[in-house]
Amino acid sequence: MKIEGEALLLRIFIGESDRWEGKSLYEAIVLKAREEGLAGATVLRGLEGFGANSRIHTTRILRLSEDLPIIIELVDTEDRIRRILPQLDNMVSEGLITLEKVQVITYRHDGRAA
């Protein structure tokens, strides 16, 4: 697979404790992205943050949270990203989903198994 030029960055902000069909929501989203043939997915665990309810989630010792912020990032062509959006809308019951236009400088995979 080779992607260069204009693409979309899909960013999903959820909580670490969010679930989908018995597994972590972030894991379910990564598996769905793979199933749909997207170029890749990255899950980032935040140190601190808050969402629509304004409750702070943090790693600080005095306020240790079991629901830290999670960000899932997916970058691919616009048509592939837009194709997965309805499924993500169904999966993410509480969170934030954003889209940004990005310029992919280099993304290459020669197709050989690692």
Q: Is residue 114 a part of any domain in this protein?
A: no
Q: What is the CATH number of the domain that holds 58?
A: 3.30.70.120
Helix, strand, coil % over all residues of the chain, rounded to 5: 25, 45, 30
Token reading at 11: 């960013």
What total number of domains does the chain contain? 1
pLDDT given at position 49: 77
Q: Is residue 113 a part of any domain in this protein?
A: no
pTM for this prediction: 0.82
Closest CA relative to residue 2, chosen from 111, 107, 113, 112: 107
pLDDT given at position 113: 53
Number of residues in the chain:
114
- Please report, for residues 53, 63, 83, 110, 113, the alpha-carbon distance to residue 43 in angstroms, rounded to integers and kept in the order given: 22, 23, 20, 24, 23
Burial of 74 (0-12, 13-18, 19+ CB in 10 A): buried
Tell me which residue range forms the domain holding 76.
Answer: 2-108
pLDDT tens, per residue, the chain with 114 residues: 677 789 999 999 999 889 999 999 999 999 999 999 998 899 999 877 777 666 666 665 555 556 789 999 999 999 999 999 999 999 999 999 999 999 998 877 766 655
* 42/61 Cα distance (integer angstroms): 26
- Cα dihedral sign for 61, 62, 66, 70? negative
